[in-house]
Copies of this chain bind each other. A is one copy, B any other.
């Protein structure tokens, strides 16, 4: 049974880009979720249908393998498909290509189903995954964990969770966690390093009005650097991430 693939093109606008005229990682996350939403819509399992069933998808983890980020005004193709699922998790890949077919970014993600009347994760019913033609595999995937921060070297910055950080799902938008981690690195680091790999794990959601602390520790090597991140509120870890960077000369 061949997996059901879905593609759409998106044009990169200036407001999705940073000072280097390049798509930002937080906006990339918005675009891929838009495209997976389109696939669900097409298969009759859009946001409203899921809501009627009492469910919403939550994202537990992302891994990004980055060759290059798209530029301002570039049109990209985003392809997505559910790869496999088990009782509790659903795995979905995204491939970002330029219009000549070159692969720019590969993304692996882990989703779970949230039952919002019971306020907890739900077993995934067949009817919700069958249309995507993903393979059932009872073994839970061992996805690599983000590298732990070095608590001794780590520094942190506070961020207020703002009204507009909450999206149409009534939760803090996924991309905001990436915004907080990256903004903690500051302009000088971000200008001198090129992101090649990212691993982001969502642990516990944050709420409007909270002040999060975004921790980071950086390990600089000759050609590459590694930044390890934690988003914490009152000692609890809400999100862990690690990024691998190539040093720009």
Task: Check if A44 is an interface residue, CB within 8 A of chain B.
Answer: no
Docked pose: A190 CA to B209 CA in angstroms: 14
Docked pose: A170 CA to B208 CA in angstroms: 30
Task: Check if A183 is an interface residue, CB within 8 A of chain B.
Answer: yes
Q: Cβ of A27: which chain B residues have Cβ within 8 Å of it?
A: 15
- How many Å from the CB of A193 to the closest CB on chain B? 12
Task: Check if A179 is an interface residue, CB within 8 A of chain B.
Answer: yes
Q: Mark A158-185, 1 if CB is under 8 A from B, else 0.
A: 0110111011101001010001001101
Whether A168 and B30, one on each chain, are in contact in the complex, defined by CB atoms closer than 8 angstroms, is: no
- How many Å from the CB of A27 to the closest CB on chain B? 8
Whether A15 and B187, one on each chain, are in contact in the complex, defined by CB atoms closer than 8 angstroms, is: no
Whether B168 and A14, one on each chain, are in contact in the complex, defined by CB atoms closer than 8 angstroms, is: yes
Whether B164 and A18, one on each chain, are in contact in the complex, defined by CB atoms closer than 8 angstroms, is: yes
Given contacts A13-B34, A34-B13, A208-B187, contact A19 B182 (CB under 8 A): no
Whether B168 and A187, one on each chain, are in contact in the complex, defined by CB atoms closer than 8 angstroms, is: no
Q: Cβ of A166: which chain B residues have Cβ within 8 Å of it?
A: 18-19, 187
Closest to A26 in B: B164
Q: Cβ of A175: which chain B residues have Cβ within 8 Å of it?
A: 15
Q: Mark A183-220, 1 if CB is under 8 A from B, else 0.
A: 10111001000000000000000001100000000000
Q: Cβ of A179: which chain B residues have Cβ within 8 Å of it?
A: 162, 164
Residues of chain A from 13 to 30 with CB closer than 8 A to chain B in the complex:
13-15, 17-19, 21, 24, 26-27, 30
Q: Cβ of A162: which chain B residues have Cβ within 8 Å of it?
A: 179, 183
Task: Check if A37 is an interface residue, CB within 8 A of chain B.
Answer: yes
9 more CB-based (< 8 A) A-B contacts, given A15-B30, A19-B168, A163-B186 = A13-B30, A14-B33, A14-B167, A15-B27, A18-B163, A26-B164, A163-B187, A164-B182, A187-B208
27 contacts between A and B (CB under 8 A): A13-B30, A13-B34, A14-B33, A14-B34, A14-B37, A14-B168, A15-B27, A15-B31, A17-B168, A18-B167, A19-B166, A19-B170, A21-B168, A24-B164, A26-B164, A72-B168, A157-B160, A159-B160, A162-B183, A163-B182, A163-B183, A163-B186, A163-B190, A164-B183, A166-B187, A187-B208, A187-B209
Enumerate chain A interface residues (CB-CB to B < 8 A): 13-15, 17-19, 21, 24, 26-27, 30-31, 33-34, 37, 72, 157, 159-160, 162-164, 166-168, 170, 173, 175, 179, 182-183, 185-187, 190, 208-209
